[in-house]
A and B are shown apart, each in its own frame.
Chain A
Amino acid sequence: MKFLSRKLFVTLLGAFFLSASHLALAKDSKEPIVIPTHNWSSQIVMAYVIGGIFESMGNRVDYKSADSQAVYESVRTGDITLSHEVWQSAFGKSFYNAMEKGGLIDVGNHEALTLEDLGVPKHVIDANLCPGLPDWEALKQQKCVDAFKTADSGNKGRILEGPQTWHGDLIPNRIKALGLADKYVVKFAGSADALWAELASAKKDGRGILMFNWTPNFTDADGFSFIKFPPYYDGCRIADGGDEACGSPDGWLKKAAYYKMPRKWPAAYTTFSKLSFNTTQIGQMAALVDIDKMSHKDAAKKWLADNKKVWQPWTKK
């Protein structure tokens, strides 16, 4: 009897240590973590930066190019492990749709706050094409309407909005609520590329352009003024029962992951959840490519080498 219980005790003890050692050894899977790359600089550099951090921890990483809207469906089904730049107003809808269907988890926000609103490039302010900007009241003047006219806008000024995917009829509704609808029409561009092409063309030509943009973005470097609309308050949006007569709030920049990531790559997941970039850092990453003309991979290497103090603490317990 005594012998039996002793044996049992040893077995239990052994089992305990075994499982304990097993826990301590719960290592990340050797399978690659799949990081998506979209088509704008800061996102790609950040993908390589995060990939570099994971690699420094001994993980394998794979990059896959993906459409920035369709990517959430892939994160949800596990084909892509994470998404590190979820912009509130452009991708919020896709993000929450995928979350509702199940499989995608919210891994918290970056420190950076974003602003996504209408604005004008620096040369519009410098040339005083519309005196009184960035205050929105200035837009009521006929001079401003004329400054923003285009071939297909009739006699109204044109507001160049991003694709309708991004935030539906938010800007048209706001224009209506602010009483600008008889002076301005909203034209939806089809892609970010279309916005930049028009912006570059307007800058070369020195003509006026009133367009949707966001910060942090590469346009920050050349100077871009956002219009000061009446400040946002809770309940201003039509969906919340308001009339939409307000500007955009500061937006979040989120991180998302596949629901199995915490179990499959616990250490990488812990790092990913701690990881948080601020506006300056995102700006640095984009500038290495857009201004210093480095390749995205080189930019990521340089950023990682220069900012060890920023990212190394995230990899430690």
Chain B
Amino acid sequence: MQIKTITENTKLVQVIGLFIVFFALYVLIEPSADNILWRIPEISFGEGSFSFWAVPAIINDSIDYMMFEWMPVQIYDSEIEDYDTSTLLKEVTRGFSGFIEFLINLIRELILGGVKTIVAFTSWDFISDNEWANWPALPWTVVLAGAFIIGYALGGKGLAFFAGISTAYTAIFGQWEPAMETLSFVLIAAPLSFIFGLVLGILAYKNRTIEILLNPLLNVAQTMPHFSYLVPIVVLFGIGDQAGAIATIIFATPPMVRLTLLGLKKISPEIVEAGMMSGCTNRQLLFKVLIPSARRDILIGVNQVIMQCLAMAVIASFIGAKGLGFNLLVALNQLRIGQALELGISIVLIAVVLDKLSLAWANKQVDYFADLTFWQKHRYGLMFLVSLVVGSFFAYIGTLIFNDINYLYLIPHSKGITTAPVWQAGIDWVVENWYHSLQTFNHFMIKDILIPMKEAYLGMPVVATFTLMMGIGYIIGGIRSALVVGGFLLFISLTEWWDRALITAYMTTFGVIISTIIGATVGILCAQNAKASRFILIVCDTFQTFPSFIYLIPVIMLFGVTDTSVLLAVIVYATIPATRYTVEGLRNVPVALQEAGSMSGVNRWQRLTKIEIPLAFPHIMLGVNQTVMFSLVMVIFGAFIGTDDLGQLILKALSDEKGIGNGLILGFCVAFIGLAVDHLISKWSHDRKQALGIN
């Protein structure tokens, strides 16, 4: 006890000391371009032969070399009857993307019809010569029946109606084609992310080295802004749904890996031993013991994969993914917020339906001993067949009734009913009536909080930043953490974008502080009640998949192209993980422990602060960690509103001559900010867990 107080006091003294040194450096160091303590200038070796600022150009040239010159192969192009030089790498990556494209088209054309799948087995000439070789679309009524039947088979009436109504919504509101395009894209990207995530998670669980290697990679994949690798993806994998799917997989896999690993680690050794004693083989142990025991976290992982995939629907359309995301961008460019909102609701509905279906599927128990009749075994298939016949019949009737558009076959885009004018009027009303009252707030935010905070960050001498961050690292995790954090900072400080990184840091800090406060408060309040918890988790799902681009526009209308707008968007988005993880953490505290507490005579407040919050702490910290990542993502997105941080330069890199290199290095700068924070939080939470005896 005595020793503990002293070490705690030492920490306090260390923190105070660190801040004194930091402020001394802050005040004393002269801001001037020549002062190396103020900003690290361009460092070059030899007579300008190598400089750190030239790294982006070098990376750019190497990627160009890898893609366009390394190991050339001659490819015969039968269309122009000539040989064409390609490279091995390009052929390999194109082969892979071709495979993914084939899968997406297969599902898409099963629903919407088309010729590309047939072309994959024949040729464009064959299609042109044979008019009949055209796969017909399923009438939307049949897909609706299919959704209803799947819902019923997996989760009963409630789910059936939910799936059916959602499908009807997309059809009736005239979003059938884009919605099905998005669905086909997600039905490939999500399972692939799930499989990759599960496999990597299991590997990391079995092998500590893989875990250590994987963690930073996952962090980079999650924090690296999408725009920094869009051009390389387009170069490697072409443009289209396959490229969008690959970008989506990169983004959606990390949470799956993390949650798989978390779930597996939580399994108590007794369970594993029980499995071994029963004579499980390795494979049985994995599939019959470990994965079922970690089910809860793995299912959260599935939920996250689905949410992330649909959250990428808009970004993926930048590199050619068809569907709701693209239509949404077009609607926003015309400031048709009502229309964009309806499209956004479709995206959310797809996400929620898929999530519920996959959850119901995972929860379904197989009855091995049932003696079923033919009808019982095949009733769902037969029901679908019946609806296929009936639906097709009605679609045929439709060709006789309607002369222009067959509403019983496919309802074309923007030919359905719409509520857009109502939403539009609502937004207009808000802008007209609230603009002036919000300006006082906007002025206050910008003049009294944001500008001073930004200037404070920009006024930090580089030495002071290093001292502060490495000092915090040292206090939390000793010399090793100090060096890790220092390493990340060093990378950023050697580029020419240190000032930009400071601006990113300022916005992220602000976003994280506010989001964590709101998220934790809301989370703790809602966790007290089962219904409220379920409700808030649905709100979280909705906002995570609801495309953030939609609220960027009204926010700009109210707050202009300013940092206030960017930060509001950041807070809306980054509050999600803070809330979600708090609720989940608190709700997962074993009932037995809560009851044990109640029996020992703790009141509600004591139970919350002494039992529930400490036990939920590791999970809540995971949430804070995610809040940092989400904030970073959204701050970079803020570039679409107009910022002057790293994000703006990443957007600019899309058209730069050395764009690939610039984009990647800028992306790494952003990722390294995230990694530095991640390292500190993980280390701290790990140590706290040990101190609290929960591990």
A residues lining the B interface (CB < 8 Å)? 29-32, 37, 39-41, 44, 60, 64-67, 69-71, 73-74, 77, 79-80, 91, 93-94, 97, 100-101, 150-152, 160, 163-165, 187-194, 196-198, 200-201, 204-205, 218, 260, 263-264, 289-290, 295-297
Interface size class of B (residues with CB under 8 A): 35 or more
Q: A74-B239, A189-B642 are in contact. Are A152 and B657 (CB under 8 A)?
A: no
Of residues 547 through 600 on chain B, the ones whose CB sits less than 8 Å from some CB of chain A are 549, 552-554, 556-558, 560-564
Check if A41 sits within 8 Å of B79, measured CB to CB: no
Check if B640 sits within 8 Å of A201, measured CB to CB: no
B652 at the A/B interface (Cβ < 8 Å)? yes
CA distance A64 to B123 in the complex (A): 20
Residue in contact with B648 in the complex, picked from A31, A39, A164, CB distance below 8 Å: A164
Q: A190-B561, A190-B643, A201-B557 are in contact. Are A70 and B79 (CB under 8 A)?
A: no
Closest 3 CB pairs of A and B: A30-B124, A197-B556, A201-B557
Q: A65-B320, A74-B234, A80-B239 are in contact. Are A194 and B641 (CB under 8 A)?
A: yes
CA distance A297 to B415 in the complex (A): 12
Of residues 306 through 344 on chain B, the ones whose CB sits less than 8 Å from some CB of chain A are 317-322, 326, 329-330, 332-335
CB-based nearest A residue for B328: A39
Check if A204 sits within 8 Å of B414, measured CB to CB: no
Contact partners of A91 in chain B: CB under 8 A: 655
CB-based nearest B residue for A91: B655
For residue B439, give the distance in angstroms from its CB to the closest CB of chain A: 7
CA distance A169 to B431 in the complex (A): 32
Check if A194 sits within 8 Å of B561, measured CB to CB: yes
CA distance A204 to B430 in the complex (A): 11
Apart from A64-B239, A66-B318, A73-B231, what are 13 other A-B pairs with CB-CB below 8 Å? A41-B334, A65-B321, A66-B319, A66-B320, A77-B235, A97-B655, A151-B442, A151-B564, A152-B451, A165-B652, A201-B558, A204-B428, A297-B412
A–B complex contacts, Cβ < 8 Å, 20 sampled:
A29-B124, A39-B333, A40-B330, A60-B124, A64-B240, A65-B321, A66-B319, A69-B655, A70-B319, A73-B235, A79-B239, A94-B655, A191-B640, A193-B332, A193-B333, A201-B560, A204-B432, A260-B79, A263-B82, A290-B334
Check if A97 sits within 8 Å of B657, measured CB to CB: yes
B435 at the A/B interface (Cβ < 8 Å)? yes
Contact partners of B639 in chain A: CB under 8 A: 190
Residue in contact with B326 in the complex, picked from A31, A37, A80, CB distance below 8 Å: A37
CB-based nearest A residue for B129: A30
B residues lining the A interface (CB < 8 Å)? 64, 77, 79-80, 82, 123-125, 127-128, 230-231, 234-235, 238-240, 317-322, 326, 329-330, 332-335, 412-415, 428, 431-432, 435-436, 439, 442-443, 446-447, 450-451, 549, 552-554, 556-558, 560-564, 638-644, 648, 651-652, 654-657, 659
Check if A190 sits within 8 Å of B640, measured CB to CB: yes
Interface of B is mostly: helix
Check if A188 sits within 8 Å of B79, measured CB to CB: no
Contact partners of B235 in chain A: CB under 8 A: 73, 77
CA distance A66 to B333 in the complex (A): 14
Check if A163 sits within 8 Å of B563, measured CB to CB: no
Contact partners of A39 in chain B: CB under 8 A: 326, 329-330, 332-333
Check if A152 sits within 8 Å of B556, measured CB to CB: no
Interface centre among A93, A160, A189, A194, by most chain B C-beta atoms within 10 angstroms, is A194
Check if A69 sits within 8 Å of B124, measured CB to CB: no
Contact partners of B80 in chain A: CB under 8 A: 260, 263-264
Contact partners of B77 in chain A: CB under 8 A: 260
CA distance A295 to B336 in the complex (A): 13
CA distance A101 to B64 in the complex (A): 10
Check if A190 sits within 8 Å of B651, measured CB to CB: yes
Check if A165 sits within 8 Å of B638, measured CB to CB: no
CA distance A260 to B428 in the complex (A): 49
Q: A190-B639, A201-B431 are in contact. Are A65 and B322 (CB under 8 A)?
A: yes
Check if B654 sits within 8 Å of A69, measured CB to CB: yes
CA distance A146 to B654 in the complex (A): 36
Check if A64 sits within 8 Å of B320, measured CB to CB: yes
